[in-house]
């Protein structure tokens, strides 16, 4: 067994690396700058932690996420690896004590916030330390084209340049388009980097988009079918979080909440209640989740559409980190677009942005919102839409999304499209979607008369087509770029260069239209809890092992999954090891964890014989 596999087994309890991990580790150990793009749950941290334990000096891990630092440092210490974090959650006294220990060589891995890199105290430490590697997590934050640009990441290059000896640089992210990847390499001045993209596809995740009239009713019905599972419900605003959480509490669900309007102490408590499964349901804004490695999240429901594909992919990817089946459901409404447009136009959160930077970011944000909206409109494979966005297309059928599992009929809608475009053209491209659709449908509302759309020659020409069907056709034309919307607060429908091909009779529009009847093999059969693989009569043993794990976790002040993942407990139930040698064959049980916890779990397993 080579050194890296020995480390993997001893500390992590695994016999083999996952896809891409060994390639990235070998690249780092060879001294080459390395850039890994791996989906959420693919094991990015192992890619820099394993070489960190093999390199002679210290590894600095730069991360913007306090929760991730705390989580990963806690997990490392539980495995027997000395690690620390340096961020704003520490008092000045604690910070200086941590630096003192770092100088003494106590830590092999140090997590640090980018804002700390150029402080006098940290520079004094770094200039005298033996730093073998600087690893940058969430590296998309360095790019203005990324969805979460942070100017503090631009300080990383300055920090590296001041070091007496340049260490190997590694960088990791789950979300980076080709444009972002090129930008990161340029900004961080990576030298001939080995760029490894393991693929964005998470085959265990089921994706669905729904457009319910009553979102809360849809959510409530969904939770009734998933009552024994842990999940996250994302809302766009604090107000939505409060309303949804309150309604779920009234219904008796074990739910908590998280948003920036709560006190630090309440956010911390609510987060711990979720992680420890005291309250397995979390209703939150996007302020929650980054760096949370909870492995048994079986579903993520987006109550509102996020502002871009990157955010959606990252947030949805918090489901099924254990590799078992999980669901990602998006509940869409037109109001979501308006809410996100408001957020984009009023984005002043990042005070470090110059006016030029802010303008660039806003333009990109508008374009990304358009792509996110089209995800909710498309009748093609949802997984393929996202993979194509990241430059990784596959066959337009995955068999594990709501579109692939929905019956469609193919309909020629060219005539309706001509009337629609004619109405837009005749009205001077001055009106929004609803006004145009109501005019085509022959509405006699005051609004239509006030706008004089009843005098448009196309008024009432689509009376026989439902408003819902007309909206589907508009959405399809937007996705295919036969129409576009203005970037105003109240967007209007505009013709494009492709519109003329329809009006001139050069193109025909044939689209797939839902028959409104989804196969019954979707949600309930696609996402089953990890314990579905338990042997007969294994549930009682599983629950006993979970109780032991919870007792250990509480005593150590760490989340239960840091002790052992559910998947590891299931394997214990399947094979029921009776001694150390057999226990070390269980995936996720390493030498260090066995020394700490093994005896307590063996005691339970031996009493089942």
What pLDDT is recorded for position 353? 66
Mean pLDDT of 267-295: 86
The span from the CA of 383 to the CA of 206, in Å, is 9
Residue 520 has pLDDT above 90, yes or no: no
What pLDDT is recorded for position 529? 47
Q: Rounded to whole angstroms, what are the CA distances from 168 to 43, 189, 198, 218, 420?
A: 20, 12, 21, 50, 58
pLDDT top residue among 212 and 533? 212
Residue 510 has pLDDT above 50, yes or no: yes
pLDDT in tens, 85-113: 998 888 899 999 999 999 888 999 999 99
* Other residues' Cβ atoms within 10 Å of the Cβ of residue 403: 23
Average pLDDT, the chain: 89
pLDDT in tens, 17-39: 999 999 999 999 999 999 999 98
CA neighbor of 11 nearest in space, from 49, 57, 67: 49
Mean pLDDT of 594-605: 92
| Rounded (5°) CA angle 232-40-204 | 75
Residue 517 has pLDDT above 60, yes or no: no
| Rounded (5°) CA angle 9-561-577 | 55
Residue 500 has pLDDT above 70, yes or no: yes
CA neighbor of 368 nearest in space, from 552, 180, 527: 180
What pLDDT is recorded for position 177? 84
Mean pLDDT of 557-563: 84
pLDDT in tens, 384-426: 999 999 888 777 889 999 999 988 888 999 999 999 999 999 9
Q: Which two structure tokens, joined as six digits, stand for 318?
A: 């918090």
What pLDDT is recorded for position 528? 45
Q: Which pTM was predicted?
A: 0.78
Residue 463 has pLDDT above 70, yes or no: yes
Residue 257 has pLDDT above 90, yes or no: yes
What pLDDT is recorded for position 125? 94
pLDDT band at 609 (very low <50, low <70, confident <90, very high): low
Residue with tokens 């999954």: 561
pLDDT top residue among 18 and 489? 18
What pLDDT is recorded for position 515? 62
CA neighbor of 566 nearest in space, from 292, 277, 296: 296
Residue 433 has pLDDT above 60, yes or no: yes
pLDDT in tens, 306-321: 999 999 998 999 999 8
Residue ranges and CATH numbers for the domains of the chain are 3-197 (3.40.50.300), 205-389 (3.40.50.300), 406-518 (1.10.10.10), 530-606 (1.10.150.80)
Do residues 564 and 571 make contact, with C-beta atoms less than 8 angstroms apart? no
In the DSSP assignment, the letter for residue 348 is -
What pLDDT is recorded for position 186? 94
What pLDDT is recorded for position 404? 92
What pLDDT is recorded for position 294? 84
Q: Which of 381-395, 449-463, 570-584 has the lowest mean pLDDT?
A: 381-395
The span from the CA of 246 to the CA of 419, in Å, is 46
- Residues above pLDDT 90, as percent of the chain: 63
What pLDDT is recorded for position 523? 41
What pLDDT is recorded for position 147? 60
What pLDDT is recorded for position 560? 86
Residue 519 has pLDDT above 50, yes or no: no
Residue 525 has pLDDT above 60, yes or no: no
Q: Which of 13-27, 119-133, 551-565, 570-584 has the lowest mean pLDDT?
A: 551-565
Mean pLDDT of 284-288: 89
What pLDDT is recorded for position 533? 62
Residue 65 has pLDDT above 80, yes or no: no
What pLDDT is recorded for position 288? 87
pLDDT in tens, 76-87: 998 889 999 998
Of the ranges 156-160, 289-293, 395-399, the best mean pLDDT one: 156-160
Do residues 233 and 303 make contact, with C-beta atoms less than 8 angstroms apart? yes
pLDDT band at 150 (very low <50, low <70, confident <90, very high): confident
- Residues above pLDDT 70, as percent of the chain: 94
Do residues 174 and 146 make contact, with C-beta atoms less than 8 angstroms apart? no
CA-based R_g, the chain, Å:
27
Helix (H, G, I), strand (E, B) or coil at 361: helix
pLDDT top residue among 553 and 193? 193
Residue 526 has pLDDT above 50, yes or no: no
């Amino acid at each position: 067994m080579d050194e890296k596999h020995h480390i993997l087994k001893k500390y992590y309890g695994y016999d083999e690396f996952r896809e891409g991990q060994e390639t990235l580790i070998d690249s780092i150990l060879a001294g080459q700058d390395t850039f890994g793009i791996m989906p959420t749950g693919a094991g990015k941290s192992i890619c820099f932690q394993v070489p960190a334990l093999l390199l002679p000096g210290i590894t600095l891990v730069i991360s913007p996420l306090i929760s991730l630092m705390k989580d990963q440092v806690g997990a490392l210490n539980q495995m027997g690896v000395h690690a620390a974090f340096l961020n704003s959650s520490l008092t000045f006294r604690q910070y200086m004590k941590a630096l003192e220990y770092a100088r003494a060589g106590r830590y092999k891995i140090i997590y640090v916030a980018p804002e700390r890199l150029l402080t006098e105290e940290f520079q004094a430490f770094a200039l005298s330390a033996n730093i073998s590697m600087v690893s940058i997590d969430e590296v998309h934050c360095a790019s203005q084209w990324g969805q979460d640009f942070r100017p503090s990441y631009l300080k990383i290059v300055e920090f590296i340049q001041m070091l007496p000896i340049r260490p190997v640089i590694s960088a990791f992210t789950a979300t980076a388009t080709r444009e972002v990847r090129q930008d990161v390499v340029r900004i961080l001045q990576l030298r001939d980097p080995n760029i490894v993209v393991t693929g964005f596809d998470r085959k265990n995740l089921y994706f669905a988009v729904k457009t319910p009239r009553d979102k809360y009713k849809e959510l409530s019905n969904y939770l009734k079918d998933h009552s024994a599972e842990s999940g996250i419900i994302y809302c766009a605003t604090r107000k939505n979080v409060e309303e949804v959480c309150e309604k779920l509490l009234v219904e008796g669900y074990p739910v908590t909440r998280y948003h920036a309007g709560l006190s630090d102490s309440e956010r911390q408590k609510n987060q711990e209640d979720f992680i420890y499964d005291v309250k397995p349901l979390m209703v939150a804004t996007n302020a929650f989740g980054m760096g949370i490695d909870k492995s048994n999240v079986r579903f993520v429901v987006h109550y509102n559409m996020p502002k871009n594909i990157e955010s959606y992919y990252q947030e949805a990817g918090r489901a099924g980190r254990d590799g078992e089946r999980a669901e990602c459901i998006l509940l869409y409404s037109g109001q979501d677009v308006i809410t996100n447009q408001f957020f984009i136009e009023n984005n002043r959160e990042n005070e470090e942005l110059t006016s030029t930077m802010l303008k660039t970011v806003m333009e990109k944000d508008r374009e990304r919102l358009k792509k996110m909206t089209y995800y909710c409109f498309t009748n093609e494979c949802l997984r393929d839409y996202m993979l194509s966005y990241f430059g990784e297309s596959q066959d337009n059928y995955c068999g594990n999304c709501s579109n692939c599992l929905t019956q469609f009929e193919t309909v020629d809608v060219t005539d309706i499209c001509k009337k629609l475009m004619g109405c837009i053209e005749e009205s001077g491209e001055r009106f929004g979607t609803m006004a145009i659709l109501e005019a085509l449908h022959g509405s006699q509302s005051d609004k239509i008369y006030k706008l004089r759309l009843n005098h448009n020659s196309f008024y009432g020409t689509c009376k026989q087509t439902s408003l819902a069907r007309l909206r589907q056709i508009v959405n399809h034309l937007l996705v295919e770029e036969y129409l576009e919307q203005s970037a105003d607060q109240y967007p209007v429908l505009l013709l494009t260069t492709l519109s003329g091909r329809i009006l001139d009779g050069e193109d025909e529009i044939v689209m797939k239209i839902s028959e409104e009847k989804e196969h019954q093999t979707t949600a309930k059969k696609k996402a089953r809890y990890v314990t579905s693989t338990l042997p007969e009569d294994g549930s009682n043993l599983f629950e006993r092992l979970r109780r032991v794990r919870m007792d250990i976790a509480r005593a150590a002040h760490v989340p239960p999954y840091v002790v052992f993942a559910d998947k590891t407990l299931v394997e214990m139930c399947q094979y029921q090891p009776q001694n150390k040698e057999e226990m070390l064959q269980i995936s996720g049980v390493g030498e260090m964890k066995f020394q700490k916890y093994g005896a307590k779990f063996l005691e339970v397993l031996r009493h089942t014989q």
